[in-house]
A and B are shown apart, each in its own frame.
Chain A
Amino acid sequence: MAEASAGRNMKQHDESRQAIRHPATPPARTANPARHWLRAMGLALAVVLAGCAGLPIGQVPAPDAEEPRHGRGPEAPISELPGDPQAPPEEFPELPGGAGPDVELEPDYHPAGQALIDEARRERVLGRDAAAGATLERALRIDSQNPWIWIELGKLRLAAGELAATRSMAQKALTLADRDPAARAEAGYLLRQADGGS
């Protein structure tokens, strides 16, 4: 039997990320423009592929299917993207950092979770750490995959001098921050603080 290096023969996990994660997230996120964009791109990709393969259009799988492994397909012109007639334009939240090539990499955290993080930060500034902790736990109930919630929890633990707990929170944030370089950096910094202080 021939041996082959896994890394060479396999597609990088990272590349398929945007295609996998988004369809698998709850349908609640339709108001997010990044998701619309990805969905449209997936649809365009499916149409292109199906066209090449000469399949009847009816057999094209839904773009939400599990295994569309190709991260970067041919880009569809903006004018062809299907809009969502039900969502009026004012429903679209502002994208932090604006539109640009890194839009697809921008993690789409739940706005309600983000709002709770903001509230927790305010509470922390006011010295109400217990309330901030409770608010962050509320945020986790909405979006436990958001690394920033764990980072904020880690900061609270650090302020309380609980280094082991800080470390755990930072490690947890790191495992969730694969697509969020800023969160990675922050979690890494928190981890170093926890280790340095011990």
Chain B
Amino acid sequence: MSRKKPARRTRRAAGRPKHGLWRWIIGATLLALVAAAGWIAWLDMRITSQFEGRRWDQPAQVFAAPVELYAGRPLGIERFTELLEAQGYRQADGSAPRAGFWWRQGNSVRLMTRAFRFAEGPRAAQVAQIDFDAIGIRRIRDPQGRELPFLQLDPLRIGSIFPAHGEDRMVLAPEEIPPLLAAALIAVEDRRFESHRGLDPEGIGRALLVNLRAGEVRQGGSTLTQQLVKSYFLDSRRTWRRKFTEAAMALLLEQRYGKDEILTAYVNEVYMGQDGRRAIHGFGLASAFYFGKPLAELDAAEIATLVTIVRGPSYYNPWRNPERVRERRDLVLKILAEQGALDAERAGAAAGRPLGLRGAASAGPAYQPAFLGLVRRQLRRDYRDADLDSAGLVVLTTLDPLAQQSAQSAVSDGIGQLRRRGEALEKVEGAAVVTRPATGEVLALVGGAQGSFDGLNRALDASRPIGSLVKPATYLAALESGRHTLASTLRDEAVTVVLDDGSTWQPENFSGEPLGTVSMARSLAESLNLPAVNLGLELGVETVARRLGHLAGTPPPPAFPSLLLGSVEYAPLDVAEIYGTIAAGGFRAPLRAVKAVLDETGTPLSRYPLEIEAVADPLAVAQLQRGLRLVFERGTARGAAGRLGGRQYAGKTGTSGEFRDSWFAGFGSDTLAVVWVGRDDNAPVGLTGASGALPIWADIMSGIGAADLAPNAATGLVEAEIEYATGLLARGDCADTVVVPVPEAAVLETRRDCAPRDPWDETPIERGLQWLKRALGGT
């Protein structure tokens, strides 16, 4: 455009007197020069600011918790090698040990970890041998044979916090770029890169010739510098004006920066593929995306594959067009061998290899949008978006890759099975949260049946009525009042509540006639509505609401009577907080996904250490936990026994009105999981907590291998054998009994025709029989 200006002005000047013509020509030329200089300065400013800006434009890198290995960990060798694969570790090929490699000998695995910078300081790569037995890890030794009490693997990178426009990348320093990659890019894309000044006329000429001969565009004559400029401005229009601007910018860039800097920028900038909403930029991220391991660990064939993909990430999509990619990769290897960048033997060997892409199954949780959503939410309290997008932060999180994998596959499989059951269930969705209640660490987060989908995060955002999940808050309030125990008799009778607006509320039991009276133990285990409502009304709805608020660490919900049957809405993550407090013995540990944030040099910027707060009476919680174990032994979760392999857990089912939401929340001694199943449009799905969420929950817990709930001794509690139905003290030989803890000072009533004997009056034979009956007959 600006080139035409002088011409126009010259024409206009033509009618003027002759002696003024020269002046005009000179003036116009000067003007043109000034305009051109201005244009160049403007271009220079644009390209420089882009280049400089991008150099530091590093999305925060997010890492999972490191895998912790120690003697006695119940992790089998097969599962462990799977885990290594998921971490991007590779089986050694017999060469000298390198970081990120493992090899197996019988029941032992030797490996070399990768160096990593933790918040506590850098950790060097470490060689170790791990011996397994039938139970799990038997011992860990260093190469000198000394036993190591524990070994931490380098954490798995699970994604980054990339800006809204979706560009994700892992920025590499010049020294992190493998020499073979640099050589391959130059050999294939821009042979005269080292000598040209941004443009390569010879290359353009050659490309023109090739394209003319072929009658189609086969080769681009663009230099790497031109390609870099092009990708900076995300404009693929092929106009002459664009080409001209790009060429000018390429020349300017070469004036200002060295070849190394330009190549590094190229390696970090270039578009390498698409993963849903996320655009994969740069070779660092591409290596993780396509191969599941760091760029430094790629072999010649894998580097050649990436150099193939950069040509056209869509055309050379290795999952969609593996043959096309292999052909081109082998060509790249051949070129490398011809140019002496790779010796012919290695190139030949590499050419025969399969692509070796990460498989969907072995990939592990490479990219976890749901969990990253929680990370982002936690970080936004302390960091600006711009810092997260571009300041090169390192975020160390609590994600447990194994738990995430188990939880995602349990939800995906479980929802898949439900969807096949019928029309009402075709659109059913699910969500799950797995935590370590003692510390508040979120181990896994599943936002929907489709794991990699970066959409509605139901674990965080789907607030739904929790149904009977609310009841433990009522029972806890009752146990804390000191007036009730699990043996208390509750009224299972119809009740009518007059509401503030004059209308009435008449809750009903889920099924069957009211029993009249029932033990608290049974009422809790079988999730009876009327006893829970009667008890809640006796305690006061406000008391229950406050209890719930304490457990959740949020303000109490509005105290409507319908709260007692769970009309209150919580997201799965909130439910995990509530049940986490119960699982942790009454100590609430605020849930957290981030442990520490480091800056790009590895200096800790912030840490999020463990916090706990005593919010409930530990003795009342111990009793409640026993009641929640009865849910599995006697109550609504009986059906899960087959999926749990004999392990003992505590938990509760929840079903909201008209079967819209199906919930299960439960825990072992150190893991808690919450599962929600329902529809996004809130339509009824016809599932109870037991038929929808419970099987998925059970699959998560058994997938993780969650430890049993070991009942803790609590000074101040004694065990009582009570009749399950009535709560009266009774004997197992004449009544259906359960053993529950009650406060020492509690006064219990006895069933007269089946009164317990003083245990110390019994003969050893009687005691033995009692014990055998309980041990064999306990369900």
Q: Are A133 and B778 in contact (CB under 8 A)?
A: no
CB-CB under 8 A from A48, the residues of chain B are 768
CB-CB under 8 A from B618, the residues of chain A are 175
Measured CB to CB, the closest approach of chain A to B22, in angstroms, equals 77
Q: Are B120 and A7 in contact (CB under 8 A)?
A: no
Would A68 and B713 be within 8 Å (CB), given that A1-B750, A168-B613 are in contact? no
In the complex, A67 has a CB within 8 A of chain B = yes
Which of B149, B708, B718, B756 touches A7 (beta carbons < 8 Å)? B718
In the complex, B669 has a CB within 8 A of chain A = yes
In the complex, B771 has a CB within 8 A of chain A = yes
CB-CB under 8 A from B133, the residues of chain A are 86
Most chain B CB within 10 A, of A27, A28, A68, A140, is at A28
Interface residues of A in 1-51 (CB under 8 A from B): 1-14, 16-17, 20-21, 24-31, 48-50
Would A52 and B764 be within 8 Å (CB), given that A13-B717, A28-B135 are in contact? yes
In the complex, A55 has a CB within 8 A of chain B = yes
Q: Are A5 and B612 in contact (CB under 8 A)?
A: no
Most chain A CB within 10 A, of B119, B718, B769, is at B718
Q: Are B747 and A140 in contact (CB under 8 A)?
A: no
Would A67 and B68 be within 8 Å (CB), given that A13-B713, A116-B150, A144-B670 are in contact? no
Would A14 and B713 be within 8 Å (CB), given that A3-B747, A49-B768, A53-B768 are in contact? yes
CB-CB under 8 A from A25, the residues of chain B are 707-708, 710
0 or 1 for each of B591-609: is its CB under 8 Å from A? (1 = yes): 0000110000000100101
0 or 1 for each of B131-148: is its CB under 8 Å from A? (1 = yes): 001111001000000000
Which of B121, B135, B149 touches A115 (beta carbons < 8 Å)? B149
Which of A21, A29, A69 touches B72 (beta carbons < 8 Å)? A29
Alpha-carbon separation in the docked complex, A142 to B136 (Å)? 14
In the complex, A61 has a CB within 8 A of chain B = yes
In the complex, B745 has a CB within 8 A of chain A = yes
Alpha-carbon separation in the docked complex, A111 to B587 (Å)? 25
In the complex, A124 has a CB within 8 A of chain B = no
Which of A8, A28, A55, A111 touches B772 (beta carbons < 8 Å)? A55
Q: Are A130 and B604 in contact (CB under 8 A)?
A: yes
In the complex, A165 has a CB within 8 A of chain B = yes
0 or 1 for each of A129-141: is its CB under 8 Å from B? (1 = yes): 0110111011011
CB-CB under 8 A from A135, the residues of chain B are 120
Q: Are B72 and A153 in contact (CB under 8 A)?
A: no
Alpha-carbon separation in the docked complex, A111 to B134 (Å)? 19
Q: Are A175 and B714 in contact (CB under 8 A)?
A: yes
Would A172 and B712 be within 8 Å (CB), given that A1-B750, A4-B748, A9-B756 are in contact? no
Measured CB to CB, the nearest residue on chain A to B588 is A168
CB-CB under 8 A from A28, the residues of chain B are 72-74, 135-136
Q: Are A61 and B772 in contact (CB under 8 A)?
A: yes
0 or 1 for each of A85-123: is its CB under 8 Å from B? (1 = yes): 010000100000000000000000011100110000000
CB-CB under 8 A from A195, the residues of chain B are none
Would A24 and B648 be within 8 Å (CB), given that A1-B749, A142-B68, A179-B713 are in contact? yes
Q: Are B614 and A67 in contact (CB under 8 A)?
A: no
Measured CB to CB, the closest approach of chain B to A88, in angstroms, equals 10
Q: Are B712 and A175 in contact (CB under 8 A)?
A: yes
Measured CB to CB, the closest approach of chain B to A159, in angstroms, equals 13
Alpha-carbon separation in the docked complex, A114 to B195 (Å)? 62
Alpha-carbon separation in the docked complex, A179 to B715 (Å)? 10
Would A169 and B612 be within 8 Å (CB), given that A7-B744, A144-B438, A144-B670 are in contact? yes
In the complex, A193 has a CB within 8 A of chain B = no
Measured CB to CB, the closest approach of chain A to B81, in angstroms, equals 19
Which of A53, A112, A131 touches B150 (beta carbons < 8 Å)? A112
In the complex, B285 has a CB within 8 A of chain A = no
CB-CB under 8 A from B610, the residues of chain A are 133, 137, 140, 153
Alpha-carbon separation in the docked complex, A26 to B671 (Å)? 13
Q: Are B72 and A111 in contact (CB under 8 A)?
A: yes
CB-CB under 8 A from B759, the residues of chain A are 10-11
In the complex, B611 has a CB within 8 A of chain A = yes
Most chain A CB within 10 A, of B70, B73, B119, B711, is at B70
CB-CB under 8 A from A178, the residues of chain B are 712-715
In the complex, B249 has a CB within 8 A of chain A = no
0 or 1 for each of A66-81: is its CB under 8 Å from B? (1 = yes): 1111100000000000
Q: Are B778 and A6 in contact (CB under 8 A)?
A: no
Alpha-carbon separation in the docked complex, A180 to B181 (Å)? 60
Alpha-carbon separation in the docked complex, A25 to B609 (Å)? 27
Would A26 and B74 be within 8 Å (CB), given that A49-B768, A142-B68 are in contact? yes
Q: Are A137 and B609 in contact (CB under 8 A)?
A: yes
In the complex, A65 has a CB within 8 A of chain B = yes
Q: Are B648 and A134 in contact (CB under 8 A)?
A: no
In the complex, B720 has a CB within 8 A of chain A = yes
CB-CB under 8 A from B118, the residues of chain A are 134
CB-CB under 8 A from A20, the residues of chain B are 710-711
CB-CB under 8 A from A59, the residues of chain B are 772, 776
Which of A24, A69, A176 touches B771 (beta carbons < 8 Å)? A69
Which of A4, A12, A176 touches B729 (beta carbons < 8 Å)? A4
Most chain A CB within 10 A, of B149, B587, B745, is at B149
In the complex, B637 has a CB within 8 A of chain A = no
Measured CB to CB, the closest approach of chain A to B670, in angstroms, equals 5
CB-CB under 8 A from B669, the residues of chain A are 24, 144-145
Which of A24, A49, A131 touches B764 (beta carbons < 8 Å)? A49
Q: Are A6 and B747 in contact (CB under 8 A)?
A: yes
Which of A49, A50, A112, A141 touches B149 (beta carbons < 8 Å)? A112
CB-CB under 8 A from A13, the residues of chain B are 713-714, 717-719, 741
Interface residues of B in 97-140 (CB under 8 A from A): 118-121, 133-136, 139
Measured CB to CB, the closest approach of chain A to B145, in angstroms, equals 13
Q: Are B729 and A9 in contact (CB under 8 A)?
A: yes
Alpha-carbon separation in the docked complex, A34 to B536 (Å)? 45
Measured CB to CB, the nearest residue on chain B to A9 is B756
Q: Are A131 and B120 in contact (CB under 8 A)?
A: yes
CB-CB under 8 A from B150, the residues of chain A are 112, 115-116, 138, 142
Q: Are B70 and A112 in contact (CB under 8 A)?
A: yes
Q: Are A1 and B728 in contact (CB under 8 A)?
A: yes
Which of A115, A131, A175 touches B585 (beta carbons < 8 Å)? A175
Measured CB to CB, the closest approach of chain B to A53, in angstroms, equals 5
Measured CB to CB, the nearest residue on chain B to A164 is B613
Would A145 and B119 be within 8 Å (CB), given that A2-B752, A10-B718, A168-B613 are in contact? no
Measured CB to CB, the nearest residue on chain B to A168 is B612
0 or 1 for each of B724-737: is its CB under 8 Å from A? (1 = yes): 00001100000000
Measured CB to CB, the closest approach of chain A to B702, in angstroms, equals 14
CB-CB under 8 A from B765, the residues of chain A are 49, 52-53
Measured CB to CB, the nearest residue on chain B to A113 is B70
Measured CB to CB, the nearest residue on chain B to A171 is B614
CB-CB under 8 A from B719, the residues of chain A are 10-11, 13, 16, 69
Measured CB to CB, the closest approach of chain A to B469, in angstroms, equals 24
Would A27 and B613 be within 8 Å (CB), given that A13-B741, A142-B70 are in contact? no
Q: Are A134 and B120 in contact (CB under 8 A)?
A: yes
Alpha-carbon separation in the docked complex, A65 to B587 (Å)? 29
CB-CB under 8 A from B728, the residues of chain A are 1
Measured CB to CB, the closest approach of chain A to B36, in angstroms, equals 58
Measured CB to CB, the nearest residue on chain B to A169 is B612
Would A6 and B120 be within 8 Å (CB), given that A53-B765, A144-B670 are in contact? no
Measured CB to CB, the closest approach of chain B to A176, in angstroms, equals 7
Contacts A86-B134, A142-B73 given; 20 further ones with Cβ under 8 A?
A: A3-B749, A4-B749, A9-B729, A10-B742, A13-B719, A20-B710, A21-B713, A66-B778, A111-B72, A112-B149, A130-B604, A131-B121, A141-B439, A142-B68, A144-B436, A144-B439, A145-B669, A172-B585, A175-B618, A176-B712
| Chain A to chain B: the 10 pairs with minimum beta-carbon distance, closest first | A49-B768, A112-B70, A115-B149, A144-B438, A28-B72, A24-B710, A131-B120, A65-B775, A61-B775, A178-B713
List 13 A-B pairs, Cβ < 8 Å. Answer: A1-B750, A4-B748, A4-B749, A6-B745, A6-B746, A17-B713, A27-B74, A65-B775, A69-B739, A128-B120, A131-B121, A142-B73, A145-B712
